[in-house]
Amino acid sequence: MTTNMKNEFEQYVENFKATAPAEVQEKMQNALEELEASSAEKGLKKGEKAPNFNLPNATGKTIELYEQLKQGPVVLTFYRGNWCPFCNMELRAYQQIIGDIHGQGAELIAISPQTPDQSMSIQEKHDLEYIVLSDESNEVANQFNLVYQLPEYLVETYKEIGLRVDQHNGDDTWTLPVSATYIIQTDGTIEFEYTKSDYKDRYEPSDVLEELKKLK
């Protein structure tokens, strides 16, 4: 199956540009350009070892990466939260091919800084049949070198439009992970990575599946 996440992204962006206030669009674009120009938050690269972690799933059960890797490779994707429309589209696209991922002997793990309650909400909303974990305070995302601080002017804009990232994450840091997807071999080696500061730039899930099929 070929997913159509990028087409959905393009349609959403077109609608956003046609309807969102110009000032909001400008601030979001400025924040994005500042992040892309920074030297940090670039993520781990192919060939590096993924750090082990223990994080709670939506029901509070602790999942350990390296225990999961004993069963097969892992597709690991970091997303911002269930308030992010692009994240929702990506997670739905992965659900479309989860049977194919499992058919390769692999598991999919999606991580966000949201609380377990928020993770439960997104898992139930999209009937996700894969692992959704809560990385409160972005501790694991930090180990993968993915975390960035939202600029104050964007924080105020988000608050003005009712987008309370702090309440979703259960803290007041207003930090998020950049979008990143990894394929991790059973020995913990990163076999594939795609990390972008632009949250609208993500690897098509069906293309991730093709990368997964290349594993020996």
- Give the pLDDT confidence of 93-132 residue by residue, as tens digits: 999 999 999 999 999 999 999 998 888 888 988 899 999 9
The pLDDT tens digits for 18-74 are: 999 999 999 999 999 999 888 666 899 999 999 999 999 988 999 999 999 999 999
Find the mean pLDDT for residues 1-25: 93
In contact, 178 and 197? CB cutoff 8 Å:
yes
Distance CA 64, CA 174 (A): 26
Instruction: Tell me the C-alpha distance between 58 and 56, whole Å.
Output: 7
Residue type, 17: K
pLDDT at 40: 63
The amino acid that residue 108 corresponds to is L
Q: For residues 134 and 56, is the Cβ–Cβ distance under 8 A?
A: yes
- Does pTM surpass 0.85? yes
Q: Let me know if 5 is exposed, middle or buried by CB neighbors in 10 A (0-12, 13-18, 19+).
A: buried
Domains parsed from the chain with CATH numbers: 5-213 (3.40.30.10)
What is the residue-wise DSSP string for 81-118? -TT-HHHHHHHHHHHHTHHHHHHTT-EEEEEESS-HHH
